[in-house]
Chain A
Amino acid sequence: MRAIERWVEVPLQTFLSESAARVTLLMTSSGQVVAQHGFTRSLDVMSAAALGAGILASTAELSRVMGTRPLDAVVHQGSAVGVYLAGFDTPRGRWLGLVVFGPETSLGLVQMFFARMVGDLGRAAPAEEPPRQVLAEDFEAELNSSLRTLFGR
């Protein structure tokens, strides 16, 4: 399990152990990964986040077009695994969760423990930290070198 910020870890770990979910991804509404469990490649995580955020965004837009209340959750039921996708509000803005679960658990359990995790995250979120130095002033040389390596130039 990996999380961008430490305070996300305990609620997520609790959810994972109680729900028996196989894969879980928490992301911002624009598809940026906040925490994940069950993926082996970071690149796959980003693709899953982009697709999950896309599905929920289009569902929200669909409800707006139809003039209904926002549709906050989507369930894909497969023959071997199910996928539960849901949006929720946190003190850090709107986040989305993507959960893949198998027959060892159930949608009902996933939904129930997911709702508990949302509550736990709301209580665990600390006040936002002030901005910190991210990049050194001379980052451009490293950027150019990285891009050259990437493109084999």
Chain B
Amino acid sequence: MPLVNFTTREITCKLVYYGPGRCGKTTNLLYIHGRVPEQRRGNLVSLATQSDRTLFFDFLPLELGMISGFATRFQLYTVPGQVYYNATRRLVLQGADGVVFVVDSQARRFDDNLESFQNLQENLLDQGVDIRNLPLVLQYNKQDLPPDLILAPAELDDAFNFRGVPSLPSDALHGTGVFETLKSLSALVLQRLAARAPVP
């Protein structure tokens, strides 16, 4: 769960962007990094291969500001999407307070999305986490592509959103839906934190 410092009144949450290779996880972080004022964000740490594919993870720390009197920070991580990097994905997923599952809306990537989503559930289960109990948001990315190439949000909801979690269409490259996705997941994570700590 989020790390809470009562002495200095700070909350730190770990949010992980998960999804198949080239679905747009790093693009989400790049957009956020480009939009947020420098004094409110750290450097975008990117451990990538020479061809710019995420090798280990991307990491972006954000200073959100004061929420309920707590200085709130987000640590945004992406995982490498390629199938063979599962050990790394498991490591990055460890201790996640919430997950954005980024779906590549292209119809031809449907099976890759499904495989990655199942992989997310398996990796969470390995860590003793039931996906039904973890704050989760679905982001249907690349919705800007021609309609004949992509699946509509309703169709993707049918396939992935069996829990009725928030799902948002996006075009991460141009920023559409990026802000809304982060907002949606952070609300879920903080709601969970508020619900977990009863009034003494």
Contact = CB atoms under 8 A, between A and B. Distances in A.
Given A4-B8, A54-B91, A143-B64, 7 more contacts: A42-B63, A43-B43, A47-B43, A57-B91, A61-B91, A142-B67, A143-B183
17 contacts: A29-B95, A30-B96, A31-B75, A46-B59, A46-B75, A47-B59, A61-B91, A132-B200, A133-B197, A139-B67, A139-B68, A140-B190, A143-B183, A143-B186, A147-B182, A149-B65, A150-B40
Q: Is the interface of B mostly helix, strand, loop or mixed?
A: mixed
Contacts of B8: 2, 4
Nearest to A58: B91
B12 A50 contact: no
Closest 9 CB pairs between A and B?
A30-B95, A43-B42, A46-B61, A146-B65, A135-B194, A57-B91, A32-B3, A135-B68, A4-B5
Interface in A119-147: 130-137, 139-140, 142-144, 146-147
Nearest to A147: B183
Interface centre among A3, A143, A152 (most CB of B within 10 A): A143
A151 B178 CA distance: 10
Contacts of B92: 54
A147 B190 contact: no
Nearest to B3: A32
Contacts of B142: none
A28 interface: yes
A73 B8 CA distance: 30
Interface of B: 3-8, 10-12, 14, 35-37, 40-43, 45, 47, 56-57, 59, 61-68, 70, 72-73, 75, 77, 87-88, 90-92, 94-96, 179, 182-183, 186-187, 190-191, 193-194, 196-200
B42 A44 contact: yes
Interface residues of A, number: 45
Contacts of B12: 32-33, 46
Interface string A1-36: 011111000000000000000000000111111100
Given A4-B7, A29-B94, A135 B64 contact: no
Interface of A: 2-6, 28-34, 41-44, 46-47, 50-51, 54, 57-58, 61, 65, 130-137, 139-140, 142-144, 146-147, 149-153
A66 B68 CA distance: 47
A131 B64 CA distance: 23
B70 A134 contact: yes
B200 A133 contact: yes
Contact of B68 (A6, A31, A54, A142): A142
Contact of B67 (A41, A47, A146, A152): A146
Given A46-B12, A134-B193, A147-B186, A152 B68 contact: no
B70 A135 contact: yes
A104 to B, nearest CB: 28
Contacts of A147: 64, 179, 182-183, 186
A97 to B, nearest CB: 16
A11 B66 CA distance: 30
